[in-house]
Amino acid sequence: MQRMIGKRAISSLISLFGLIVLVFFLSRLTGDPSALFLPVDASEEMRQNFRELHGLNDPVLVQFGHYLGDLVRGDFGDSLRKARPALDVVLEAFVWTLQLAVITMTLVTVAAIVVGSVAAFKVGTKFDRVASLLSLIGASAPDFWIAIVAIVLFSVNLGWVPTSGTGSVWHWILPIAVLFIRPFGLILQVVRGSMLTALGSPYVKTARAKGVKNRPIIFVHTLRNAMLPVITVIGDQAAALLNGAVVVETIFGFPGVGKLMIDSILQRDFNVILAAIMVTALAIFLMNLLIDLAYALLDPRIRT
């Protein structure tokens, strides 16, 4: 187990370093920040002083070396836009994204496992057909389209919920609902397929022959054996929420790390871009490690 964790940690650090290199040099291609942060009529001397102050006059390779040196000391640099440590800005936004992802994935996981398990047990019935249809629609519909339709229908036309912001519980309903649909459809399909395979196993037939009731068969005997592929999809979808809620956060004006990254790219706030991507990547790597540990808990064969 420890060897597996060590290998995972090393591979994650290598991937993270590659990501830092890629993002650092690509972000420099977006242009000169002085063109955005200084007045249009700023003199060339003012621009040079701005670049010198923020270390942008050095060659790109020298800038990268300085950045790595600061990073080793735990210094992510300052935000050009907010004149604050970039890491503090990112962590404030990441808390919002994390709350949104945790709430959404908790609701998705419970709903998908329950509905998928019942659909597999009642295969071929009306409940199974409706659940399968809804899962296909949910897995196929794009998030941005659902978000726009939801705003027009529930906010503009009906006036039930606000269009954006985080001032109250009502502001969270649409972002959570939109982010809920796709992972619910995908996880439900996997739960149903995995449960169908498990329900056809000999141990289930033996349990039924002994007179075991349906509920223990579904949620005790078969669910644990059916969970390995389900955990994989849950982990992928949770990572997608952390990494891919950019569109939904932007549409709903949600102050998460996704919206922060978009704003920082548009405003060429290099340090915030890098800090946001590193924090998100570390969260995803940690999530993948937790998934591996969950595999080992569910299947003892994996521990060796």
- Give residue 217's pLDDT: 65
Helix, strand and coil content of the chain, in percent to the nearest 5, comes to 80, 0, 20
Each domain of the chain, given as residue ranges in start order, spans 2-72, 86-298
CA distance 53 to 8: 39
CATH architecture of residue range(s) 86-298: Orthogonal Bundle (1.10)
Strand partners, 78: 85
User: Which amino acid, one-letter code, is at 98?
Assistant: L
3-class DSSP state of 166: coil
CA distance 249 to 172: 11
Nearest Cα to Cα of residue 234 among 97, 105, 88, 65: 105
User: DSSP readout, 173-230?
Assistant: HHHHHHHHHHHHHHHHHHHHHHHHHHHTSHHHHHHHHTT--HHHIIIIIIHHHHHHHH
Token pair for residue 116? 């998928």
CA distance 24 to 71: 13
CA distances from 22 to 28, 50, 277 (A): 10, 25, 11
CA distance 212 to 72: 59
Range scoring the smallest mean pLDDT among 22-26, 274-278, 286-290: 286-290
Average pLDDT, the chain: 80
Q: What is the pLDDT of residues 243-272, one digit of tens each?
A: 667 778 888 888 888 888 888 888 888 888
CA distance 59 to 129: 61
Q: How does residue 107 score in pLDDT terms, banded at 50, 70 and 90?
A: very high
Task: Kindly tell me if the per-residue pLDDT of 90 is higher than 80.
Answer: yes
Mean pLDDT of the region 48-59: 75
Task: Kindly tell me if the per-residue pLDDT of 186 is higher than 70.
Answer: yes
Task: Kindly tell me if the per-residue pLDDT of 303 is higher than 70.
Answer: no
pTM for this predicted structure:
0.77
Task: Kindly tell me if the per-residue pLDDT of 300 is higher than 70.
Answer: no
Task: Kindly tell me if the per-residue pLDDT of 1 is higher than 70.
Answer: no
Question: What percent of the chain is predicted at pLDDT more than 70?
Answer: 86
